[in-house]
Structure 1
């Protein structure tokens, strides 16, 4: 296949399709958090229902995303990307039409399957479509416009919830998906890995998804220790299987022989777990306790996206000069300070005095940490494993959010109808922010001890 130039008409169309496609998943993950209080009230569910609304999507996405990337390499990246887009759109329609919480949770799980097919394909298409000289710029454009999509997502979601209702937070995906399909069919070239051999690790994917489901259910439903135990056992079986199946394993266990690769993934698990709790609870706190409108609550995290767009490239350059340990450690710790500040957000909270400063501190910390973290993940493996290492780290990040959103709310007393009881939710939110800040402190400590300063130069 001949490579495209980024300045060509087809090259711009390929970028448009991949940005819109990956933006779909970003849009959905940010929109839903704003809709939670409203869909919870209409569907007459409790905190567990809200947790499952978020986690059902993350569960199937985290469990199947590596398999989705492998399917694209084998059967065609454009084909699997298109299947994922259509699947995602149909599942979004089911979410928007859900008559009860059980139906919504099932539809969200199906949505995650679509996301697992769609998400890996967008970057893989860019990698395969553009020449080596144009590839870095194409990835930069994809990242920048993806950041714009993640910024617009909450605002669009807040506007939808505030005007036409929470169901449109899902139904809005349909016209965007139709546009992605139209552009991809007409302009995106097909590509695949002609050297891909071996068998798909379907059993590994199933075990991973079942293990995550068991642990998640056991954490959300505190009276289900047997299910939690079964999830842990299935997780152990997954690790055993992956060791046996190398080199056809879903997760090449040999990558974890590198101490830095293991450490940075542990940091990712803890860090994104803390962030998952904040993203899950903050919008609900602002709406239920502080009295913000959905649009105002949705815009609360906008400074984080702006700071990430402006500062992440500079953080990556700094990490190359001084090593990743300092910016990662300081950034993660600073994000934890932002979470401590968020614990002061309560009834009648001021956006200028409490919300904006805490979110800004969090955004500054995140901007300093994420680019060096990603670079470290890739620097610890051979180039031929770069895609796999990135996929593993992506799955670890989503798993961290999944488990934390399952575990922390019940731990701080956010159960039952807590999201409709402002004093109860406020008390739980404040404690959850303290726990999230402590998790960031642990992640910063591990980074300071385990990450080498020269890892990006070796």
Structure 2
């Protein structure tokens, strides 16, 4: 083999590859982000048209997230076996078809199936994006490309929130998904201008690993998603089964965690037998990589918890439109975008460990600010400041942690890094949404029960007419409509509405404080992130 001399200093900075591939890669991310971010903004309109509960939209979000998280590792291996560009193109066609179903759905069930298919398509697309970046860029340009990918996701979220809000308010919620159809078609056409990624010979699909990974992720996600409905420990009436009176939700979570351990053990066994595992464990075998994975999961949980709480409060409590929701979330999403694309500039001055610590503190401070200033008006400056602080911290962490994982693994494992990122992001998204819902509804239920029991204006016979075991976030109008079917007097209705309003606000504040505490706790594992100074060659800590 002919030895090559290293390039002179500054040469790499001068030799820049074309950004055209990044445009196509970014558009591939956009088509997925437009879909999943339009769902929470469209909650009110979908609920009204299909005459269903808000949790149905949550089910569609979870169906998408589960599909991606459960099968993104399979998507990575399919890319290695058949070529990442080919898989990218096939998955884009599948996403296009899913959006056709979504746009013309006639029931909530069809909508959920459409999101399930869209999730499977995204599971194949997500790993290919990392492979395409690694195949086209290197060095500082690769770091910038990874930052752009994170920034594209953030700015698309802003766009999706605004488009879905505006279209849902003025035309109809279906248009927010209909515009993805021609967009996906353009992505497909432009993808033929990309150079093909060669197949990796000898790759075989680990179907046992696929089953273990999918079941583990589904168990964990479904368990978290039903903690409130099925019971935190003891089973509630809504639980589908109750072994020994215990809720199936924690049983599923524990089973999922055990499944993850089995998956890792199975992957190690395949490596020992010189066979291809579903996920190359080299991408998470150092302490630094493990810290990056844990930190990434934590920030995605925190971000999705907040983006679930804000639309829920604005639409279901304040009774405002989806457009109001999109406007309220714009400062946060712009902050994520700005941080994700600009944090690369400080990589030469601060270590990943330092950046992560400062970013998690920013997130915690932002959550505390939101808890303190929380009231019925989301347009106040302190609230905007809280949202911006969380966004700056989240955007910085997303790009930083993604870079740590990509740069610490060889180029041939780019698909595995992409699969790991997709698994973490979508599993954490489902867990974050479910955790926020369980916390805020659980706290709300306790507050309402205590407020009603301690209020002499609410007689016991009236309490018996209302099912306090199924307390959820409802508007004042809907609560009043429910109370009209009881024997409640006008004064008792006013008192019950006041109790509910105070309980909602307190539940929201306490949930944000809990999220702030979680952000501070994650600083502990993030201390294992790389601490090398500029110019050093990082040595992974095994």
For Structure 1 versus Structure 2, the TM-score category normalised by the shorter chain is 0.7 to 0.9
- Report which stretch shifted further, 236-245 or 221-230: 221-230
Change (3 A) 1:261 1:122: closer
Change (3 A) 1:334 1:145: closer
- 2:423 equivalent among 370, 382, 395: 395
Change (3 A) 1:324 1:122: closer
Matched with 1:166 is: 173
Task: Give the superposition deviation at 1:455.
Answer: 7.5
Normalised by the length of structure 1, the TM-score is: 0.86
Give deviations 1:316-346, integer Å, cap 9, x for gaps.
3434323122221111121122122223565
3-state DSSP of counterpart to 1:418: coil
Q: RMSD of aligned C-alpha atoms?
A: 3.1
Q: Tell me the distance in 2 between the aligned counterparts of 1:133 and 1:434.
A: 38
Are residue 208 (structure 1) and residue 213 (structure 2) matched? yes
Change (3 A) 1:272 1:197: same
* 1:40-439 equivalent positions in 2, closer than 5 A: 40-129=47-136, 147-185=154-192, 187-193=193-199, 195-221=200-226, 222=230, 223=239, 224-225=247-248, 227-228=252-253, 230-246=255-271, 248-344=276-372, 348-382=376-410, 384-413=412-441, 418-421=472-475, 423=501, 426-439=505-518
3-state DSSP of counterpart to 1:329: helix
Q: Tell me the distance in 2 between the aligned counterparts of 1:145 and 1:51.
A: 24
3-state DSSP of counterpart to 2:185: helix
Q: Tell me the distance in 2 between the aligned counterparts of 1:399 and 1:141.
A: 23
Q: Is the contact made by 1:37 and 1:419 (CA closer than 8 Å) also made in structure 2?
A: no
Task: Give the superposition deviation at 1:57.
Answer: 0.6
- 2:529 equivalent among 444, 451, 456: 451
Task: Give the superposition deviation at 1:208.
Answer: 1.4
- Report which stretch shifted further, 19-28 or 168-177: 168-177
Task: Give the superposition deviation at 1:140.
Answer: 6.3
Q: Tell me the distance in 2 between the aligned counterparts of 1:354 and 1:95.
A: 38
Q: Tell me the distance in 1 between the aligned counterparts of 2:289 and 2:513.
A: 28
Task: Give the superposition deviation at 1:129.
Answer: 5.0
Q: How many residues align?
A: 448
- Quick check: which has more Rg, 1 or 2? 2
Q: Tell me the distance in 1 between the aligned counterparts of 2:309 and 2:264.
A: 32
Q: Tell me the distance in 1 between the aligned counterparts of 2:471 and 2:60.
A: 15
Q: Tell me the distance in 2 between the aligned counterparts of 1:434 and 1:114.
A: 36
Q: Is the contact made by 2:91 and 2:124 (CA closer than 8 Å) also made in structure 1?
A: yes
Change (3 A) 1:404 1:142: closer
Q: Tell me the distance in 2 between the aligned counterparts of 1:411 and 1:134.
A: 42
- 1:442 equivalent among 498, 521, 530: 521
Q: Tell me the distance in 2 between the aligned counterparts of 1:135 and 1:357.
A: 32
Q: Is the contact made by 2:131 and 2:418 (CA closer than 8 Å) also made in structure 1?
A: no
Q: Is the contact made by 1:78 and 1:191 (CA closer than 8 Å) also made in structure 2?
A: yes
Q: Tell me the distance in 1 between the aligned counterparts of 2:60 and 2:210.
A: 22
Give deviations 1:162-210, integer Å, cap 9, x for gaps.
122223332222121122223334x3343323x4323112332232122
Q: Tell me the distance in 1 between the aligned counterparts of 2:24 and 2:367.
A: 36
3-state DSSP of counterpart to 1:165: coil
Q: Is the contact made by 1:379 and 1:455 (CA closer than 8 Å) also made in structure 2?
A: no
**Structure 2 gap segments, 5+ residues each:** 1-14, 231-238, 240-246, 446-469, 477-500
Q: Is the contact made by 1:72 and 1:80 (CA closer than 8 Å) also made in structure 2?
A: yes
